[in-house]
Amino acid sequence: MKVIVDQHKCVASGQCVLTAPEVFDQREEDGIVVLLTETPPDHLMDDTRQAAILCPAQAIWVAEQEKQEGEQ
């Protein structure tokens, strides 16, 4: 799994931070999303997908990836 956020689309609603606080944060000054990790561990995948679904601005994409040993 790889997570991508578009800070230009983000409307600072904070849904992602409430749903997956280990993956998303918000900037102090304006509340815009900050991605804490592009590649969340397995136990955070469900919350990360849920955050993408709940984001009112559709500013979060989750790209599913096959696990490959040695992948960079």
Where on the chain is the footprint of ligand SF4 (CB under 6 A)? 5, 10-16, 24, 26, 33, 55-57, 59-60
Q: Which is nearer to ligand SF4, 5 or 44 (CB)?
A: 5
| Cα–Cα distance measured from residue 10 to residue 17, given in angstroms and rounded to the nearest whole number | 12
Cβ(62)–Cβ(3) below 8 Å: yes
| CB of 29 vs ligand SF4, minimal distance in Å | 14
What is the residue type of 12?
A: A
| CB of 42 vs ligand SF4, minimal distance in Å | 22
